Amino acid sequence: MQCREFGEMVDSYLKDELLVETNHGVITHLEACPACRSELAARRETREALRRAFDHAPEFQLRPEFAFQLRNELKMEAFGKRNNSDNLFAFVMRPQWLAIAACLVVAGMVGIFAFRPQGGSPNELARTATSGEVRSDLPAGELSGAAVRLASFEKTEAAIGDHQNCAIKYNLPEEPIDLNEAGRKYDTAYIDLAQAVRSGEGLRAGDIKYVEDHSCIYDGRRFAHIILEHKGRTISLLVAETDEDSTKGENADVIACSQRDGFQVSCFGTKRHSVFVVSDSTEADNLMLARRLAPTVTKHIARAEV
């Protein structure tokens, strides 16, 4: 795949519209192309900022008094208060309904304009749209191929599934076990991992709270699972051993690697482990949490891999 081809399908990739084979081709290209990784990161941040700005624009909010009136009129219509065609036509042609139709047309046109590919540098677009709200602590152009590999469909699906079926609502066929016990039986990187996270820099500010830890299995994959809380939202820190070495060093980049069903996944890795941070926060907040936790987690796991 060439950079030109990636540029033509980057928006479809972000919206999960590509076929599996094409998606794998994109990931392979991203591993080898820093420029396209930079463009992908900028597009993600731009889309999130535009979506947030559009959703909260005052001119697109429904006035409470209009909503109340509309609800009452719809109830009357449903109960047959206006049951002849002439009255129905008059109801539909009221100024309020015409105003709704006009608003929908305008909103649709603005949405199409806002989310179509824009000219100019993606990094410039991201800086303009975010206005400082969505920030990146790492240069987008320096994202490593190892971090991109962590975003494989199977791994991120398992991470989201474990978060949903263990942290949010327990629904696992096999009971979790003590994390240190799992470390002695299956993976030494799990030993004292929770203690490292609790005492690490990521939790010292006090806004991230430790909830519990264990080792669980979802979809055949064993995880070290540390459950945290941030701003009232449940956060899952998940660590899984990889099948092969995924990076040459210990400082893999932290990236926003997937999103599905309202859940955001940020990921990073060490030589033989993949680490995922999953929550229903915004992409920017979830990425910030992952970057705060990454130094402590990476250091602890890398020490066990020696």
Strand positions, DSSP E, 180-254: 208-218, 221-230, 233-241
Confidence tier at 56 by pLDDT (50, 70, 90):
confident
Pick the closest to residue 283 from 9, 22, 40 (CA basis): 40
pLDDT at 67: 64
Q: Which of 26-40, 54-68, 78-92 has the lowest mean pLDDT?
A: 78-92
Residues whose CB is less than 8 angstroms from the CB of residue 9 and which lie 6 or more positions away in sequence, other chains included = 18, 22, 26
Q: How many CA atoms lie within 13 A of 237 on its CB side?
A: 33
Q: What is the mean pLDDT of residues 60-80?
A: 63
Q: How far is CA 190 from CA 117, 198, 219, 246, in A?
A: 44, 14, 19, 18
Confidence tier at 105 by pLDDT (50, 70, 90):
low
pLDDT at 249: 47
* pLDDT above 50 for 117: no
Residue ranges covered by each domain of the chain: 33-138, 144-305
Measured distance CA(306)–CA(293) in Å, rounded: 21
Q: How far is CA 41 from CA 19, 241, 284, in A?
A: 21, 26, 11
Please say whether the structural domain 144-305 has been given the CATH code 3.40.1000. yes
Measured distance CA(45)–CA(52) in Å, rounded: 11
- Provide Rg for the chain, Cα atoms: 24
- Residues of the chain with pLDDT > 70, as a percent, come to 66
Inter-axis angle of helices 20-32 and 34-55, to 10 degrees?
Answer: 120
pLDDT at 43: 83
Residues whose CB is less than 8 angstroms from the CB of residue 91 and which lie 6 or more positions away in sequence, other chains included = 73, 77, 82, 97
* pLDDT above 90 for 227: yes
* pLDDT above 70 for 85: no
Measured distance CA(203)–CA(210) in Å, rounded: 8
Q: Which of 21-35, 94-108, 272-286 has the lowest mean pLDDT?
A: 94-108
98 vs 10, more confident: 10
Measured distance CA(258)–CA(44) in Å, rounded: 11
Q: How far is CA 162 from CA 79, 81, 91, 216, in A?
A: 46, 51, 50, 8
pLDDT at 232: 93
Strand positions, DSSP E, 153-295: 208-218, 221-230, 233-241, 255-260, 263-269, 273-279
Q: What is the mean pLDDT of residues 116-126?
A: 42
**pTM (2 d.p.):** 0.54
289 vs 21, more confident: 289
* pLDDT above 90 for 83: no
pLDDT at 135: 36
* pLDDT above 60 for 246: no
Task: Give residue-wise pLDDT tens across range 5-23.
Answer: 888 888 888 777 878 778 7
Task: Give residue-wise pLDDT tens across range 197-218.
Answer: 999 988 988 899 999 999 999 9
pLDDT at 146: 45
Residues counted in the chain: 306
* pLDDT above 50 for 127: no
Confidence tier at 119 by pLDDT (50, 70, 90):
very low
pLDDT at 258: 82
Burial class (CB in 10 A: 0-12, 13-18, 19+), 242: middle
CA-based end-to-end distance of the chain:
36
Q: What is the mean pLDDT of residues 176-184?
A: 96
Average pLDDT, the chain: 77
235 vs 74, more confident: 235
Measured distance CA(51)–CA(32) in Å, rounded: 30
3-state secondary structure 82-147: CCCHHHHHHHHCCHHHHHHHHHHHHHHHHHHHHHCCCCCCHHHHHHHHHCCCCCCCCCHHHCCHHH
pLDDT at 120: 43
CA dihedral (208, 287, 293, 175) positive or negative: positive
pLDDT at 238: 97
